[in-house]
Amino acid sequence: MKDPNRPDPLADELVPQPPRQERSRRAHDALVGAALSRFAETGYEATSIDDIATQAGVAVGAFYLHFRSKRQVLLVLLERLLQELEFRPVLAPDADAATIIARLRYYFRKELNYAGVYRAWREAALRDASLAALDARLEAWATARAAQLLNAAAARPGARANVDTPTLARMLSVIFWRSLDAPAADRDALAGTVAAVVTHAVFEDAAGVDAVSR
């Protein structure tokens, strides 16, 4: 289910209707896959529509039956990345500390199929004011989600008094997005380190050790 607070990259885009014929669907999927591969490998500016079409095995003219521009296919990929981030079990209101920390571990450990697109997204946002504005909204959304998780943790027994969750949430957001920009070699280690830092920042030592070890 889509988070109603999440910015929609395609809100103002006139994206052509999804193809119905099997051959057209295969071409569409091939173009999306090729764009993701090229963006991840060479970045946004260095990737051309010709490059995407060639790798997909599709005529350049056919690209425009599916997307209006390179920018639009990037936005489609970004939307898919965000959808992947949203797919998660619902956190119960009375979740204990260990469950909350486990959820945090999940986000930082999870390999994302569309993570490679973030490099291209950051690059494109440097040159496009509207994409930069969307990027700022996405950062704010991610920070708010992190704060929600941290606030839930700070409300559990064993939490420290006066935890600065807004600052900690901003730190988590930055680390998460940058880990997509330059993927960590060992995501399990990254997840464990983040979980340990957050646990000891939010919980008293005894409760913190218990939460991070489960």
Q: Could you tell me the residue ranges of all domains in the chain?
A: 91-213
pLDDT band at 200 (very low <50, low <70, confident <90, very high): very high
At residue 110, the pLDDT reads 85
- Dist. CA 212–CA 105, nearest whole Å: 9
Q: Specify the pTM.
A: 0.86
The pLDDT tens digits of the residues spanning 119-155 come to 899 999 999 999 999 999 999 999 999 999 899 999 9
* Number of neighbours of residue 150 by Cβ within 10 angstroms: 24
CATH topology of domain 91-213: Tetracycline Repressor; domain 2 (1.10.357)
- Dist. CA 81–CA 44, nearest whole Å: 16
At residue 92, the pLDDT reads 76
